[in-house]
Structure 1
Amino acid sequence: MALLYRATRLKDRADTHVFTFVVTRSATREPDRDVTSKDFCCAHQRWAVAFSRTEASLGVYLVWRGVCEGMRVYVDFTFTLLSRDHFTANEGFSGKQVRFYAGCAAQGRGRCVSLSELNAKFADARGEFQLELSMSRVRTLYSCELRAPRLDTPPIAFAGFDWSVSASGGVGKEPLTLRLQRLSGEGQRCRVRYALALGEGDRRVHSGPLECLCDAEGGTPPWTPRPPTRLIHKGVRLTVELVWARALAELAVPVAGRAATCYDRDKQAWGLRCDTHSETVRLHMLYRDVHHVPRNHLRYVSWSAWLVRVAPAAGESEAEELPGAPFENYYAQESADEGLMMETALRVEDVSRAGSPFLHPGGELRVRLEWTDTYLLFQATYHVYDDLCRLHAHQMRREIAALQAENYSLERQLFSYQKTLAFAQAQAGGEAAEGGRRSPAERSLSTDTEYA
């Protein structure tokens, strides 16, 4: 088996995710058994890690589970086998903007490492080893031809929803208008970021990044290309880039009263209670289904939260994000959750009086939750598997400290050389100036000598 052990988001420009797997000995000692990890999510697509074994070597593949006709996904990924001795002995391979599509849903290397080297450098006494997968710059693109009379795309699977792009107009003087429509998840609100493009080459018209709230019916605002585009009888090429789609939950939380209940994408129950026992209002987030977390597992959940205004003024945003967002926490199986406290910038005295911009009728606050990442991780407590990553971290810190000390020493030497060189140049310049001050007789003699 390949067990997802830890997941880390680096929060860099490339939105890098690092997944660590614990691979049991079945990957190397049971050649007839197909070893594949459980599905996990990255960039709103479902993935898995699969292994192939020959008599002498082991292969590793990244498998795209959300195959959709007409869709292609580009990924920068790196597989790394973690050495038991030193981080510089890690081995792996990588690919830049590797394309996954319906005809090729698995990408990797059939002979990643020999079995003898795997057992000698990477596997422990139980035959288990750790594999690290890094994924970044994930792009999801969907393309098709829009041609009358069919003016909408087939269903597009993304982020757990089915989507479609519908077209209207484009005949006569009426301009063509495009709209992204969510087909599944009835009654569920979400926030989506995407981009649309029509045509190809020099005639391509691009919408740029579009971001909006998708209502309970799944509708989004329409986009009209500029300059206006006509839907010719031969059809037009449509390209959709789906960046992310995050489920939303909006709660009415009484300022003084019981907790409000909502559910995340995995149908897990959460409670949100208002806390007014400090200078500012705090929101107490409770995971009510914490007892449903499988034994010996951790559930990682991250989310963002906003306070919704009653009547936003012109130029004012509809909601104000809570400081410290996004929030994240790990949950293990327990009888009850103690909860996580989220601070707000709203003072308690402002809520107690009428006219507060966030106090809705009935004495309640409207809180919008946006669910981001969730992972079910193997091993709920600190384990011997953690020692390897901690060892690598300490080794890298020592290497960095040694390089910094060496760099500082070289900088001091360079400064000393520059100082010596400047002093020598100053002395040479002074001597040249003194040598140039000759008497008229000397200059005349010199001239006569030169011309003699």
Structure 2
Amino acid sequence: MALLYRATRLKDRADTHVFTFVVTRSVTREPDRDVTSKDFCCSHQRWAVAFNRSEASLGVYLVWRGVCEGMRVYVDFTFTLLSRDHFTANEGFSGKQVRFYAGCAAQGRGRCVSLAELNAKFADARGEFQLELSMSRVRTLYSWELRAPRLDTPPIAFAGFDWSVSATGGVGKEPLTLRLVRLSGEGQRCRIRYALALGEGERRIHSGPLECLCDTEGRTPPWTPRPPYRLLHKGVRLMVELVSARALAELSVPVAGRAATCYDRDKQAWALRCDTHSETVRLHMLYRDVHHVPRNHLRYVSWSAWLVRSAPAPGEPEAEELPGAPFENYYAQESADEGLMMETALRVEDVSRTGCPFLHPGGELQVRLEWSDTYLLFQATYHVYDDLCRLHAHQMRREIAALQAENYSLERQLFSYQKSLAYAQAQAGEPAVAETSGRRSPAERSLSTDTEYA
């Protein structure tokens, strides 16, 4: 088996996600069995890791589970086998903007490592080893030929919903209008980020980044290309880039009263209640179905929250995001959840006054929750597997400290040489060479800006 052990989002420009898997000995000791991990989500697509064993080597593949005709997904990914001895002995392979499509849903290497090397350097006494998968710069593109009389696309699977792009007009004086429509998830609101493009080459018209709230009926605001576009008899190429789609839940939470209940994408129940026992209003978030978390597992959940204004003024945002968002927490199987407290900028004394912009009729606060990542992780407590990452972290710190000490020593030598050269030039009566950056002592130069360390 390949068990998803830990998941980390680095929150960098490339939106890098790092997944760590604990791979059991069944991968290497059962030659007739191909092992595949359970599905996991990254950048709103479903993925899995598959292993293929030959007589003397082991292959590793990244598998795209959300195959959709007309869709292409591009990914930067890196597989790394974690060494038991030293992080510099880690081995792996990577790919830049690797394309996944309906005819090729798995990408990887058939001979990643020999079985002898795997057992000697990476596997422990139980025959288990750790595999790290890094994924970044994930792009989802969908293309289709719009041709009369059918002016909408087939269903597009993305982020757990089915979507379609519908076209109207484009004939005579009526301008062409495109609209992204959600076909599934009736009654569910979501925030969608996407972009549309029509045509090819020099005649291509791009919408630029679009972001909107998709209502409970699945509708989004229409996009009208500028300049106006006319549908040709031979059809037109439509390109859709899907960036993200996150489910929303809106709750009316009484300022003084019972908790409001909602459900996340996995149909798990949550409760939200107001806490007015401090200077500012706080929202107490409780996971009601915490007892449903499988035994010996952790459930990681992240979300963002907003306070919705009752009557926003022109030019005023409809909702105000809570400070500290996004929120995240790990949940193990418990009889009850103690909850997580979310601070707001709304003062308690302001809620009791008339004219509070966030107080809705009935003395309620309207809270909008946006669900983000959720993972079910193996091993609910600290384990010996964590020692490996801690060992690597300490080794890296020592390596960096040694490099910093070496850099400081070289800078001191350089400063000494410059000082000797200036003294020799002064004795010979030559003008000293001016330093553009100014002369600094070794202590001042110990933090060099010329070298960056990770």
TM-superposed CA distance for 1:411, in Å, is: 1.6
Normalised by the length of structure 1, the TM-score is 0.94
Q: 1:445 to 1:143 in 2, by over 3 A?
A: closer
Gaps of 5+ in 2: none
Q: Secondary structure at the match of 1:137?
A: strand
Q: Secondary structure at the match of 2:127?
A: coil
2:400·2:453 contact (CA, 8 Å) conserved in 1?
Answer: no
TM-superposed CA distance for 1:2, in Å, is: 0.2
TM-superposed CA distance for 1:383, in Å, is: 0.6
Q: Distance in 2 between matches of 1:284 and 1:412?
A: 56
The equivalent of 2:361 in structure 1 is 361
- For residues 124-139 of structure 1, the aligned pairs below 5 Å read 124-139=124-139
Q: Distance in 1 between matches of 2:296 and 2:407?
A: 46
Normalised by the length of structure 2, the TM-score is 0.94
1:58-100 per-residue CA deviation (whole Å, 9 max, x = no partner) reads 0000000000000000000000000000000000000000000
1:136-162 per-residue CA deviation (whole Å, 9 max, x = no partner) reads 000000001001111000000000000
Q: 1:150 to 1:433 in 2, by over 3 A?
A: closer
Q: 1:426 to 1:276 in 2, by over 3 A?
A: same
Q: 1:428 to 1:338 in 2, by over 3 A?
A: same
TM-superposed CA distance for 1:420, in Å, is: 2.3
Q: Secondary structure at the match of 1:435?
A: coil
The equivalent of 1:291 in structure 2 is 291
TM-superposed CA distance for 1:427, in Å, is: 3.5
1:372-430 per-residue CA deviation (whole Å, 9 max, x = no partner) reads 0000000000011111111111111111111111111112222222222233333334x
TM-superposed CA distance for 1:235, in Å, is: 0.5
Q: Secondary structure at the match of 2:304?
A: strand
1:235-292 per-residue CA deviation (whole Å, 9 max, x = no partner) reads 0000000000000000000000010000000000000010000000000000000000
Q: 1:172 to 1:417 in 2, by over 3 A?
A: same
Q: CA RMSD in A?
A: 9.9
TM-superposed CA distance for 1:444, in Å, is: 55
Q: 1:333 to 1:428 in 2, by over 3 A?
A: same
The equivalent of 2:5 in structure 1 is 5
The structure with more helix, counted as a fraction of residues:
1
What is the number of equivalent residue pairs in this alignment?
Answer: 450
Q: Secondary structure at the match of 2:445?
A: helix
Q: Distance in 2 between matches of 1:450 and 1:285?
A: 41
TM-superposed CA distance for 1:43, in Å, is: 0.2
1:88-129 per-residue CA deviation (whole Å, 9 max, x = no partner) reads 000000000000000000000000000000000000000000
Q: 1:448 to 1:157 in 2, by over 3 A?
A: closer
1:5-27 per-residue CA deviation (whole Å, 9 max, x = no partner) reads 00000000000000000000000
Q: 1:338 to 1:439 in 2, by over 3 A?
A: closer
The equivalent of 1:446 in structure 2 is 448
Q: 1:263 to 1:421 in 2, by over 3 A?
A: same
1:169-207 per-residue CA deviation (whole Å, 9 max, x = no partner) reads 101111111000000000000000000001111111111
Q: 1:417 to 1:281 in 2, by over 3 A?
A: same
Q: Secondary structure at the match of 1:448?
A: coil
The equivalent of 2:39 in structure 1 is 39
2:411·2:445 contact (CA, 8 Å) conserved in 1?
Answer: no
**Larger C-alpha radius of gyration, 1 or 2?**
1
TM-superposed CA distance for 1:211, in Å, is: 0.3
Post-superposition, which runs of at least 4 consecutive aligned residues in structure 1 deviate over 4 A?
432-452
TM-superposed CA distance for 1:44, in Å, is: 0.3
Q: 1:249 to 1:421 in 2, by over 3 A?
A: same
1:292-327 per-residue CA deviation (whole Å, 9 max, x = no partner) reads 000000000000000001111121110000000000
Q: Distance in 2 between matches of 1:72 and 1:383?
A: 39
Q: Distance in 2 between matches of 1:439 and 1:209?
A: 50
Confirm or deny that 1:408 pairs with 2:408: yes
Q: Distance in 2 between matches of 1:439 and 1:405?
A: 16
Q: 1:385 to 1:441 in 2, by over 3 A?
A: closer
Q: Distance in 1 between matches of 2:266 and 2:440?
A: 94
Q: 1:424 to 1:111 in 2, by over 3 A?
A: same
2:81·2:90 contact (CA, 8 Å) conserved in 1?
Answer: yes
Q: Distance in 1 between matches of 2:37 and 2:451?
A: 94
Q: Percent identity?
A: 93
